[in-house]
Structure 1
């Protein structure tokens, strides 16, 4: 990748949902330092765009993924049915997995069809196609704690190579006890980025990616840093902080052991300053 120009894309829209971060406008105020973060459980609802039968069957992961995707598409005024989509999550629906294990441990051992089809990793992509009528290509990724960076790299490469818009939806949901003891994800968190090959009105800037051996950035705010470290999808927070502040510069994101992902953010027009005031060097 270093021998040629790094893959790049323009950020047309952002959506975010997580603990104490009810949407992107509210989260941007927090990440920009204009408001304090107030911890609160993530509230998830099934999007009304789904038919009633499917809406009743959705779990927390599907609700989160669809809400994020629909908000990003609406913010950009895009057509969800035509967008290539990347779904990236570190694992499956924790609550659904817990309930299947409970059923298997019972005397009955009957698993409902709804539980079964919600257990597959591409469930969110299926519900997305039902809700939006999407027929464009969709990819579903899992790279454990590196899933956000893996999804971002895949999405930016698709935009750069195919010259098409691509919607990245990265998301994780919590695990109940006793699974939480081995997978301690405390709550639901997700982000969606609509990436385009050319800048659009209201674009957040141009994003290019490179692999690096530099250590990943951390957040100065201890509470937000704890959130970043506790949920894999929240590894996106240093990049989202840069976007919220409207500043260019390099952010290094957690990726694989010994290899991180450097995200260089530049304005589409003159005027952006360099430096990420809310992002500290890794400790």
Structure 2
């Protein structure tokens, strides 16, 4: 069984590129990839009090999501969303563990507030005024594929657009040694149940047992393999190269329980 939806727009931020146009140029081979630490984006859509509270995970998630919707010229408050990451806000988790290991063991209300896994979707609601349903998932290394399948199913069944936002940020030490994530990365895709004049491509998703698709460029493969959210890069590359490579090979993304999510690209 497969699910077919349409990709309308993309937003992305990560090491070496700050938005989708920059990633697209790299993935097309128009610009050489230069590895660099992910920037800490300025988030102007939140009130000042909330801006002071949010961490890197929330910032990159919201920035990528807003980029996708801006490219599609869609009001963020009208959008159903699916958020997914490998394990949530690692920095906030570290600070809570640090507080619990101290003498007074007191956790600040802000830390506790940001510890819930759906914190990014909550801040999204504050920033956009969105009142529609939002789903928050956790997929470890398979976060992008888990989120994409969930968003595609919702889009297909509910017959309405869905914004997928997948993000990851590293843990500080000592947690980083146990769960290494190389840098921050976020990617968002706006999906629709039907084609529109601005559709980038159709994607047909289904579950299979197959090896994950990798990147030919070794530097980009290092990004893909070292940041769970960056498992999206093979799909991002195929979308970036359209329509020149309209007959792209199937893409296989790491899923759970030994399975892969197969993605077949078609005309938008």
Pair in the same fold by TM > 0.5 = yes
Counterpart residue number, 1:208: 204
RMSD of aligned C-alpha atoms? 1.0
Pick aligned residue for 2:44 from 30, 48, 51: 48
CA distance in 2 between partners of 1:53 and 1:24 (Å): 29
CA distance in 2 between partners of 1:145 and 1:210 (Å): 18
* 2:88–2:138 contact (8 Å) kept in structure 1: no
- Cα shift readout 1:55-79 (whole Å, capped 9, x = no counterpart): 1111111111111111111010011
TM-score by length of 2: 0.96
Please list, as runs of the form range in 1=range in 2, the aligned pairs for 1:225-264 lying within 5 A after superposition.
225-246=221-242, 247-248=245-246, 249=248, 250-264=250-264
* 2:68–2:190 contact (8 Å) kept in structure 1: yes
Counterpart residue number, 2:134: 138
Counterpart residue number, 1:123: 119
What is the aligned residue count?
Answer: 264
Counterpart residue number, 2:267: 267
Unpaired segments ≥5 residues, structure 1? 269-283
Counterpart residue number, 1:164: 160
* 2:83–2:137 contact (8 Å) kept in structure 1: yes
Counterpart residue number, 1:7: 3
Deviation at 1:33, TM superposition (A): 1.1
* 1:8–1:159 contact (8 Å) kept in structure 2: no
Deviation at 1:46, TM superposition (A): 4.4
CA distance in 2 between partners of 1:258 and 1:245 (Å): 29
TM-score by length of 1: 0.91
Unpaired segments ≥5 residues, structure 2? none
Task: Please say if 1:70 is aligned against 2:70.
Answer: no
Deviation at 1:228, TM superposition (A): 0.4
Deviation at 1:200, TM superposition (A): 2.4
